[in-house]
Amino acid sequence: MLNTPFTTEDLLGSIGLFEGVSEGTLKQFRSQMTPKKYAKNEMVFAQGDSAYSFYVIKKGWVKLSRQTLDGEEAIIDILTEGHIFGETTFFEDVAYSFNAEAVEASQLISFPLPILKEAIMSDGTLSYNMLSGMSRRRQQQDLEIEHRTVQNASQRIGCFLLRLCKPDMASPIRLNLPYDKMLLASRLGMKPETFSRALNRLRKETDIRITGATIEFDSLSQLSTYSCSACSTAFPCVDHH
Amino acid sequence: MLNTPFTTEDLLGSIGLFEGVSEGTLKQFRSQMTPKKYAKNEMVFAQGDSAYSFYVIKKGWVKLSRQTLDGEEAIIDILTEGHIFGETTFFEDVAYSFNAEAVEASQLISFPLPILKEAIMSDGTLSYNMLSGMSRRRQQQDLEIEHRTVQNASQRIGCFLLRLCKPDMASPIRLNLPYDKMLLASRLGMKPETFSRALNRLRKETDIRITGATIEFDSLSQLSTYSCSACSTAFPCVDHH
DNA sequence: CGAGGGTTTGAAGTGCATCAAATAGTGTGG
DNA sequence: CCACACTATTTGATGCACTTCAAACCCTCG
C-alpha cells in the first residue's frame, strides 16, 4: 500500500469534505492542491510559521501539538485519513498556533488557505461538509473532556480500543495500536508508566490478549461494559464517518 | 437590564452569526425565530428530546450537560451571549444528545433546524460566520483539554478569572463569578471542595481579594504569571469575540 | 425563624505522577 | 549477522493533588 504511487488522479474523490461538491469547485481545488508524502517524524509545519495552507490527510497519522512555556509538549490532537487541519487558522490568525508532525509515513494534500474563503462563499455543499466535519470533531472533543474526568486510565484505554474497531470487524478482533505507546499515552492524557500499568490492569479485568502492539479480544461486550460504565454515551463513542 | 422588554426589534443585529448576512437570509430567520425568556434552572431541552430547533443566546448563561450511566452529571459546556447550541445535532442526530438548562434568567432565540440547511447552502456569509464560530469554539476546547492536564486547580481558576476580564476593564478589576461555585467547579473539572481550597490557595499566592462571589485585583500580571506559566499559549487564553 | 441548599473545613483514601532502574526493541555500522 | 547505542516499555518505590466522606457553617428565601 505504501508503495503504490501517490498519483493526482481523483485524489479528492474519497474525501468527505468534497463529497457532492460541484465540479467547478473541485476544479478550483484540484488546480491548487499540492499532494506530498511525509516521512515518519517529519514536521508539516511549526507553531509560529506563517500560515499559507491547510491540509487534508489522505493516509497516515499526524500529530498536532504545542510547546508549553516550561518546555513540555502538549498534544492537541492526533488525526488520520479524511481529517483536515490548519483550516481553523484561516479564521483567526496569520500564523499556525500549533505544530503538525507526521507520526507515520503519511500522505497529505495541502491547499492555499485563501481558496477556502471563495469556496465557502460560493459552494454551499462544501460549507455544509466542512461544518459537518467540524461539528463531528467538536462532539468528539466534548467526549474527550468528559472521558478524562469520568473514566480512569484503564477505561480510557479500553474506550480507545473500542473506537479503533470498525463496524465490519469479525471476531476474534485483532488490532494494532496505530502509533507508539508513548504517544498513545499522551493522547489519552497519561504518562507512559501509567499507560503500561493501566493496560495491564485492563488485561486482568477483561479478556483482552496483548502481544507487543497487537491486541486481541473475542467480543466488544466485555470491553465496553468495563470501559463505558462511567460514560454518558451509549457504546460506541465512535466517529465512523 | 433584566427588566428591559425583550422585543423582537433587531434581535439578530448584535449576533455574530448574522453579521454581514444578506437581508434576504435575515428575513428568513426573522420570520421563523422564537425569542423566549427562561427562568433560572429552567430546562431548554433534555437529552433524548426530538431535535427541532437550535438556539442562540441573547443573554444569560446556559449549561449543556449529560447524564452518565451511573447517574452522575457531566458538564459539557457553559455558554453565554452570542453562543449557539443545538446546531450540531443537525448534522448527526434526530435527538439532542445532551441537556440544555438556563443557569440564570436568560433570553434565547430558537430557530427550526431545517432552516439551517437552506441557509448554509445559499448564504456564504452565514456559512462563513458559522464556521468561524465553530472554529473558535474548537480552539477553546483544545485549550480546555490542555489546561486540565498542565494546570493545577488553582491555576485553572486563575485562568478562568483572566478570561472573564474584558479588554477595556480599568484597575482595580472587580469581577463577579457568573454562576455559583458548584457549577464553576465542575466547569473547571474539579469538586466543590477542591474549588474552595484551590481558590484559597490562589488568594495566598496572588494579590486577589475575595468577598463571597466577588473577586478583586489590581493587575492582570500577577494572576497571569501564576496561572499561565504552565500554559502553552501566551496570555490571554481569551475568546473576546 | 427555620429549612435547605451552597460553601467551607477537616481527616483519610486513591489514582496518577515522579524518580529511578531494569528490560525489551530497534536501527546502525562493522 | 552480530554488537552497540539509543529509545521505548516495563517495573518498583514513593509522593502529591485531588477526591471522598463527614460535619460545620452560612446564606437566602419562604
pLDDT string in tens for chain B (241-residue length) = 444 445 546 788 889 999 999 999 999 999 999 999 999 999 999 999 999 999 999 999 999 998 877 777 889 999 999 999 999 998 888 899 999 999 999 999 999 999 999 999 999 999 999 999 999 999 899 999 999 989 999 999 999 999 999 888 887 899 999 999 999 999 999 999 999 999 999 999 998 999 989 999 998 888 988 988 777 766 567 665 5
Report the pLDDT value the prediction gives residue B4, as an integer from 0 to 100. 45
Q: Which strand D bases fall within 7 angstroms of a protein CB? A: 8-13, 17-22, 27-28
In this structure, what C-alpha cell is assigned to residue B84?
Answer: 449557539
Contact B47, B92 (CB under 8 A): no
Question: What is the average pLDDT score of chain A?
Answer: 89
B173/D26 CA-to-C1' distance in Å: 26
- Mutation to test the B interface, candidates A17, A84, A88, most B Cβ within 10 Å: A88
Per-residue flag: A119 CB under 7 A of strand C: no
Q: Which helix (H) or strand (E) holds B71?
A: none
pLDDT, one tens digit per residue, over A42-52 is: 999 999 999 99
Closest by Cα among A95, A103, A112 to A64: A103
CB contact under 8 A, A74 and B122: no
If one counts every other C-beta atom within 10 angstroms of the C-beta of residue A36, the result is 15
pLDDT, one tens digit per residue, over A77-109 is: 999 999 999 999 988 888 999 999 999 999 999
Report the pLDDT value the prediction gives residue A14, as an integer from 0 to 100. 84
For residue A222, pLDDT over 80 is answered with yes
Closest by Cα among A170, A180, A176 to A219: A170
pTM of the model: 0.89
Per-residue flag: B199 CB under 7 A of strand C: yes
- Give chain B positions within 8 Å (CB) of A131: 91, 120, 127, 130-131, 134
In this structure, what C-alpha cell is assigned to residue B127?
Answer: 456559512
Which positions ≥6 away from B186 have C-beta within 8 Å? B73, B75
C-alpha to C-alpha distance for B227 and B155, rounded to whole angstroms? 4
Report the pLDDT value the prediction gives residue B238, as an integer from 0 to 100. 67
Residue closest to C16, CA→C1'?
A194
Report the pLDDT value the prediction gives residue A229, as an integer from 0 to 100. 79
Report the pLDDT value the prediction gives residue B171, as an integer from 0 to 100. 79
pLDDT, one tens digit per residue, over A1-29 is: 444 445 546 788 889 999 999 999 999 99
For residue A30, pLDDT over 90 is answered with yes
Per-residue flag: A232 CB under 7 A of strand C: no
Residue closest to D18, CA→C1'?
B194
Report the pLDDT value the prediction gives residue A234, as an integer from 0 to 100. 62
Beta bridge partners of A37: A107
Contact B215, B174 (CB under 8 A): yes
Report the pLDDT value the prediction gives residue A221, as an integer from 0 to 100. 87
- Pick out the nucleotide with least CA–C1' distance to A151: C15
CB contact under 8 A, A124 and B125: no
In this structure, what C-alpha cell is assigned to residue A15?
Answer: 474525501
